[in-house]
Amino acid sequence: MNTLLTLDKVGLVYHSPSGETQAIKDMSFEVNEGEFTAVIGPSGCGKSTLLSVIAGLIRPSEGSVKIREREGGGSGELGYMLQRDELFPWRTIRKNVVLPLEIKRRKTRVNVEYALSLLEKYGLKEFTDHYPDQLSGGMRQRVALIRTLAAKPELLLLDEPFSALDYQTRLSVCEDVFRIIRKENKTALLVTHDVSEAVSVADRVLLLSPRPAKIRKEYLLDFGRDTTPLKRRNDPRFRDWFELMWRDLNYENKR
Ligand X SMILES: Nc1ncnc2c1ncn2[C@@H]1O[C@H](COP(=O)(O)OP(=O)(O)OP(=O)(O)O)[C@@H](O)[C@H]1O
Q: Which of 49, 148, 196, 200 binds ligand X (CB under 6 A)?
A: 49
CA angle in degrees (0–180, nearest 5) for 142-118-171: 25
End-to-end CA distance of the chain: 36
Give yes or no for residue 100 binding other proteins (CB under 8 A). Answer: yes
Tell me how many residues contact other proteins (CB under 8 A): 20
21, containing H or E segment: strand 19-32
Cβ proximity to ligand X, 11 vs 132, nearer residue? 11
Q: What are the counts of helices (DSSP H) followed by strands (DSSP E) for the chain? A: 9, 10
Binding track over 40-59 against Mg ion, x by CB under 5 A: --------x-----------
Binding residue for other proteins, selected from 78, 174, 198, 206, defined by CB under 8 A: 78
Are the beta carbons of 10 and 59 closer than 8 angstroms?
no
| Number of residues in contact with Mg ion under rule CB under 5 A | 1
Between 158 and 202, name the residue whose CB sits nearer to Mg ion.
158
Q: What is the DSSP letter of 61?
A: S
C-alpha dihedral (43, 3, 60, 99), degrees to nearest 10: -80
Q: Which stretch binds ligand X (CB under 6 A): 32-40, 43-51, 199-207, 241-249?
A: 43-51
Minimum gap (Å) between residue 51 Cβ and ligand X: 8
Residue 11 or 73: the one with the smaller Cβ distance to other proteins is 73
Q: Which stretch binds ligand X (CB under 6 A): 40-48, 122-130, 141-149, 167-175?
A: 40-48
Is 113 buried (19+), middle (13-18) or exposed (0-12) by CB count in 10 A? exposed
| DSSP β-ladder status, 155-159 and 78-81 | parallel
> Contact positions toward Mg ion, by CB under 5 A?
48
> Contact positions toward ligand X, by CB under 6 A?
14, 16, 21, 23, 41, 43-49, 193, 211
